[in-house]
Amino acid sequence: GAGVSQSPSNKVTEKGKDVELRCDPISGHTALYWYRQSLGQGLEFLIYFQGNSAPDKSGLPSDRFSAERTGGSVSTLTIQRTQQEDSAVYLCASSLDRFINEKLFFGSGTQLSVL
């Protein structure tokens, strides 16, 4: 596709369940980022991938959060034992490379609601 694709667009889950959020970056983009945005707030950095490795995962809020990237393309963010405070929009972005001149292209996000 032409842009960053995220699925699902909406996810409602019960507290304690695990969820997986998927990101398809723009083809050829080596850098991939996950952010989350709580209602009415700014974006909070979660993790960054360069290729399949994650040199910066300092933003993951707890060990319930993990992410992987395979084939230098698709990435999955997994949240185990979801809590109500995990409710937010999870945004994925990709860029051609990690250099500071590169633009980030964002997907439309996954709205996660934990009941």
Partner 1 sequence: DAKTTQPNSMESNEEEPVHLPCNHSTISGTDYIHWYRQLPSQGPEYVIHGLTSNVNNRMASLAIAEDRKSSTLILHRATLRDAAVYYCILMRTSGSRLTFGEGTQLTVNP
- Residues at the interface with partner 1 (CB under 8 A): 4, 31, 33, 35, 41-45, 48, 50, 55-56, 59, 91, 93, 98, 100-101, 103-109
Asked whether 21 and 112 are in contact (CB, 8 A), the reply is yes
Q: Which lies closer to partner 1 via its Cβ, residue 14 or residue 27?
A: 27
Q: How far is the CB of 17 from partner 1 (least distance, A)?
A: 25
- Measured at the alpha carbon of residue 8, what is the angle toward residues 2 and 12, in degrees to the nearest 5? 155
Q: Which lies closer to partner 1 via its Cβ, residue 1 or residue 103?
A: 103
**Which of 25, 79, 19 lies closest to 51, judged by CA?**
25
Q: How far is the CB of 86 from partner 1 (least distance, A)?
A: 19
Question: What's the CA gap between 52 and 73, in Å, rounded?
Answer: 8
Q: Which lies closer to partner 1 via its Cβ, residue 63 or residue 100?
A: 100
Q: How far is the CB of 69 from partner 1 (least distance, A)?
A: 14
Asked whether 55 and 32 are in contact (CB, 8 A), the reply is no
Q: Which lies closer to partner 1 via its Cβ, residue 44 or residue 76?
A: 44
Dihedrals φ, ψ of 85, to 5°? Answer: -70, -10
